[in-house]
Amino acid sequence: MKNTPTDPVPVLQELIRCRSVTPAEGGALTYLENLLSQHGFVCHRLVFREEGTPDVENLFARIGSGAPHLCFAGHTDVVPEGIAEAWTHPPFAAEISNGYVYGRGACDMKGSVAAFAAAAIDFIRGTRKFKGSISFLITGDEEGPAINGTAKVLQWMRENGHVPDHCIVGEPSSAEKLGDTIKIGRRGSLSFTVTVEGKQGHAAYPHKADNPIPKLARFVDRIAAAKLDDGNEHFDPSTLAVTTFDVGNPAGNVIPSRATAKFNIRFSTEHGFASLKGWVEDEVAKITAEMGGAWTVSATEGADAFITEPGRFVGLVQDAVERETGILPKLSTSGGTSDARFVKDYCPVLEFGPVNATIHQTDERMAIEELRATQAIYGRIIADYFSAEL
């Protein structure tokens, strides 16, 4: 007798009803753990903490042993709902209306979690034995500091013999239609704070002061106009955005003693943290030689750029998406950061999930048709993965 397919809709509804605003677990991991345990997954609840940051609950679940090992990585934490009264449907009620499931996290990314869980359960129920393993790495810290979540779970996985061969992160990667985009990498992110010290004085006697503003303005103008690179096969040209220029001076007749600028660089694999820091320091040195000033530069490393080169794994996912949707997905590295930045240090990783049109918005929602189509795609990926020699 053929098994009835698992419906991802009630799974998504149950997850949405768990108020798991970062870092609260809200019952979402407990629900998922119970669901997967019923179908043979061995589950581990992992709580990590670090001084000055909130404790975070995570879940690792695995069925099978040995290779090939396919991991699905994702998160059940969500951003705050904002003004609840502005929602057409309560943000944690998971109400269905006009073919959509409404609720915070519907797209980002409880929908993907529900779809992959349903697909994995159906595969296991329909396959008496399969060679390899399926696992879930689910964190409650993706939308927050990302300190006590995926990065530490991956360390635990390495220490306990659970490093996967390949990983799919269920971020909502599709732009306009389900299946139009797969993320195979991400740009790096590096933020700078640059301060110039001067000498305060009266605006009527500028020769008695040392104005830091022209110095910093010269520097900002140069870096903002700089061409960092031309991009490459998988990345657009790197970008630099100045985000603030501040002197903390409300008076129109006072020359300030300090000026500070902040800027962020989103960079391709043409660069790394060290090379960009060196470039900024060189530009500061040039302005110092021209105009003087006491400069300080601090940098905050966000994420390094990475790419999963197209090959058999990427091709398998592309083929599965095309066969289910009729769309050959574009391979992209656009957008900000995701937890794939941690996974890439352990195994090849890509991101695939539903359309991201309503993520983090009021009335976030996911079409039931799209949810079930996402389940079908994940199901085909799983089936193809365990029948292929990667």
Indicate which residue of 81, 142, 171, 370 is catalytic: 142
Mean of the per-residue pLDDT values of the chain = 95
User: In the annotation, is 142 catalytic?
Assistant: yes
- Closest listed residue to residue 110, CA positions, set 11, 6, 7: 11
Residue 2 pLDDT: 62
Q: Give the pLDDT band of residue 376 (cuts 50, 70, 90).
A: very high
Residue 120 pLDDT: 98
β-pairing verdict for 42-50 and 100-102:
unpaired
* Confidence check: pLDDT of 304 > 70: yes
Residue 177 pLDDT: 97
* Confidence check: pLDDT of 1 > 50: no
- Residue pLDDT, tens place only, 259-280: 999 999 999 999 999 999 999 9
User: In the annotation, is 77 catalytic?
Assistant: yes
- Residue pLDDT, tens place only, 136-176: 999 999 999 899 999 999 999 999 999 999 999 999 999 99
* Confidence check: pLDDT of 109 > 60: yes
Domains of the chain as residue ranges with CATH: 8-186+305-385 (3.40.630.10), 188-303 (3.30.70.360)
* Confidence check: pLDDT of 249 > 60: yes
* Confidence check: pLDDT of 212 > 50: yes
- Residue pLDDT, tens place only, 77-100: 999 999 999 999 999 999 999 999
HEC per residue, 122-186: HHHHHCCCCCEEEEEEEECCCCCCCCCCHHHHHHHHHHCCCCCCEEEECCCCECCCCCCEEECEE
Indicate which residue of 77, 108, 210, 364 is catalytic: 77
Percent of the chain having pLDDT more than 70?
99
Q: Kindly report the pTM of this predicted structure.
A: 0.89
CA dist 313 and 158 (Å) reads 21
Residue 176 pLDDT: 96
